[in-house]
Amino acid sequence: ASALNIPAGVNVVVTPHATTLPGSGGITVGYSITSTANTAFAGIITLRINSTEGAVANLPVDLRVESRTPRLVANPGSLTAGMLRGAQTAVGFTVSNEGGLATGPLNVLLPPDSFFHLATPMPMPPMPPGGSNFITILLTPDTNTPLSEFSGSLLVTDGSSAEVAVPFTFRA
């Protein structure tokens, strides 16, 4: 068993789970693909299985390797809440780094409405791959805030390569 058309920085190991194949039979073939370099690639590689009798089976595999970058994800992906005028409402979400590289220090950019406040201290420290942090927004509309729906987005960003927009709808 072998692999063909393998780009630089990618290792492929093909492992047949049997050494003999009965007539009209089948075997399981395992494979492992790892990236050893921070290089992007998209294309088709070929896993090849051959017999001592000369039979060859080629299996095309669509392969996509992404460069290691931070990738921020918010959960939930959007915020919806009611808020009482003259009172405080806390709304929160978790931001996680599902990428392969740490972020820089993170900040939350809020809309200019005067009743949005952060309870979570800023900036947050850099977030490693697999890391997460809970962010709490305090909604404090005064008694003169119109009874209305306020929609928009807030942004969690490290100021360069990592960011996630979190849409919101808040009703006074």
Per-residue pLDDT of 58-100, as tens digits, reads: 999 998 887 789 999 999 999 999 999 999 999 999 999 999 8
Torsion angles phi and psi, residue 10, rounded to 5: -125, 130
pLDDT at 85: 95
Distances (CA, A) of 47 to 52, 108, 111, 148, 152: 17, 46, 52, 60, 48
Q: Which residue bears the tokens 């599902």?
A: 98
Q: Where are the alpha helices (DSSP H) in 4-91?
A: none
Tell me the per-residue pLDDT of 129-169, one tens digit each, with 9 for 90 and over: 999 999 999 999 999 999 999 999 999 999 988 999 999 99
The CA distance from 104 to 70, in Å, is: 9
pLDDT at 125: 96
Token output for 90: 């806390």
The CA distance from 132 to 129, in Å, is: 9
The CA distance from 44 to 62, in Å, is: 5
Question: Is-above-0.75 flag for pTM?
Answer: no
Q: What angle do CA 160, 164, 166 make, to 5 degrees?
A: 145
